[in-house]
Structure 1
Amino acid sequence: MKKIITSGLIAVSLGMTGCASIISGANQTLTFRSVPEEASISITNKAGEKIHTGTTPVTVTLKRGAGYFKAAAYEVRFEKEGYQAKTVHVRGTGNGWYIANVLLGGLVGLLIVDPVTGAMYSLTPSDVNAVLDASPDVVTKTGEPSLTVMPVQDIPAEMMQRAELIASL
Structure 2
Amino acid sequence: MAAVAVMLGLQGCASILGDSRYPVSVTSAPPGASFEITDKSGQVVHSGNTPSTVTLKSGKGYFSGQTYTLRFKKDGYPDRSVTLDSSVSGWYWGNIVFGGVIGLLIVDPATGAMFKLPEGVTADMGKPVAGAPNNSITVATIDSITDSQRASLVPLK
TM bucket (normalised to shorter chain) is 0.7 to 0.9
Is the helix fraction higher in 1 or 2?
A: 1
Q: Which amino acid aligns with 1:94?
A: V
Q: CA deviation at 1:84?
A: 1.1
Backbone CA RMSD of aligned residues = 2.1
Identity of aligned residues (%): 39
54 and 105 in structure 1: CA distance in 2 versus 1, 3 angstrom threshold? closer
Q: Aligned with 1:25: secondary structure?
A: coil
140 and 45 in structure 1: CA distance in 2 versus 1, 3 angstrom threshold? closer
Q: In structure 2, what is the Cα distance between the partners aligned to 1:143 and 1:51?
A: 31
Provide, for residues 67-118 of structure 1, a one-character-per-residue CA deviation record: whole Å limited to 9, x for no partner. Answer: 0000000001111000111111111111100000011252211111110111
Q: Aligned with 2:59: secondary structure?
A: coil
Q: Which amino acid aligns with 1:14?
A: G
Task: Tell me whether 1:101 sits opposite 2:91 in the alignment.
Answer: no
TM-score, normalisation: structure 2: 0.78
CA contact (8 A) 2:9 2:103 kept: no
Q: In structure 2, what is the Cα distance between the partners aligned to 1:64 and 1:105?
A: 20
Provide, for residues 134-165 of structure 1, a one-character-per-residue CA deviation record: whole Å limited to 9, x for no partner. Answer: 2332x3423769xxxxxxxxxxxxxxxxxxxx
Aligned residue among 24, 40, 43 for 2:18: 24
Q: Aligned with 2:64: secondary structure?
A: coil
Q: Which amino acid aligns with 1:63?
A: K
TM-score, normalisation: structure 1: 0.73
- The higher-RCO structure (CA 8 Å, 6+ apart) is 2
